[in-house]
Amino acid sequence: MEDRAPLRRYAIVSIVAALATIALKGGAYLITGSVGLLSDALESLVNLAAAIVALMALSAAARPEDEDHRYGHSKAEYFSSAFEGSLILLAAAGIIYAAARRLLAPQPIEQVPIGAGISLAASLINLFVARMLFRAGRQHQSITLEADAQHLMSDVYTSIGVIVGVSASALTGWHRLDPIIAILVALSIMRTGVSILRRSLLGLLDTAIPEDLLRKISDILARHAAAGVRYHALRTRQAGARRFIDFHVLVPGHWSVQRGHDLLEQIEEEVRAAIPNSSVFTHLEPIEDPASFADVSLERADEASRE
């Protein structure tokens, strides 16, 4: 399995970027007094908290299996991404609250060019880090890094919207345009938060691996369907970057244990080669025994005890 410990450096980069953007955007708000820029700065605070949690989650996920966690700790990444999605929703709610108050009591914005320029510089930092995290997240199949990247990209979109709103408000003299833009941006980033939260919850619920990977497994098993070999009870789940695959292989009862074992070893090796970062568990059964076809359900033991 891939060593996940080096991924922590990406979370550290995200923390440094969050600190830099908080300083820049906070300064832009103090200069201009724009509630839009304030909302942008608040989201950067959320970025910092999320990056710290991501570092903790990646550290936990990198720990090897132990007596209490025989399947490893990779699911820790889902808690991090769920926390990040929740923080995005919380930040969006805070932005809407601050913008609604300013909408009722609009105020002029000062030093717009300077504030917009500072916010743009912070956005470029976030854009660079987000692209780096996206690449690393997809390469290493880390939902934590992908969630952090999506969060930073939502921050970039927020900043662009705020800069447009602040500039338009200053040019037109319509001061309510600033909080209106802030509210629209908040509603937009809520979609990102919901998407991240949904994906995290699905991971915690042991969702099956993607359909294209399932087809690869089925193709491998189909190639071994000669000589009376069959399979069933294919189950998969994903925990962070690790995938867990188990199925039953049915062979003629007259086969020797060694022959059946060799076949399973071959199949497992082919599945691991086709599906990276996977743990494969197989169960050998005689095809002539009717009981072999009655154990496709996880609840078989419970059903038998009720009969």
The pLDDT tens digits along the chain (307 residues) read 455 557 788 888 888 988 888 888 888 878 877 766 776 777 777 778 778 877 877 777 777 776 777 667 777 777 777 887 887 788 788 778 877 877 787 766 666 677 778 888 888 998 999 899 888 888 877 777 887 887 788 778 777 777 777 777 777 777 777 778 778 877 877 887 888 788 788 777 777 888 888 899 988 988 887 667 888 888 888 876 678 899 999 999 889 999 999 999 999 999 999 988 888 999 999 988 887 777 766 665 554 444 4
What region does 63 belong to: left with phi over 0, alpha with psi -120 to 50, or beta? Answer: beta
In angstroms, the CA 22 to CA 26 distance is 6
In angstroms, the CA 280 to CA 115 distance is 55
In angstroms, the CA 80 to CA 55 distance is 9
* Architecture label for domain 5-204: Up-down Bundle (1.20)
pLDDT of residue 264: 92
Closest Cα partner for 221 from 232, 213, 210? 232
pLDDT of residue 280: 92
Alpha helices in 173-275 (DSSP H): 177-204, 211-223, 257-274
What is the distance in angstroms between the CA of the first residue and the CA of the last residue of the chain? Answer: 42
* Fold of the CATH domain 211-306: Alpha-Beta Plaits (3.30.70)
Domain ranges of the chain: 5-204, 211-306
Q: Which residues contact 223 (CB under 8 A, 6 or more apart)?
A: none
pLDDT of residue 305: 45
In angstroms, the CA 100 to CA 82 distance is 27
pTM passes above 0.75: no
In angstroms, the CA 271 to CA 266 distance is 9
Q: Which residues contact 140 (CB under 8 A, 6 or more apart)?
A: 2, 4, 7, 241
Whether 254 contacts 215, CB under 8 Å: no
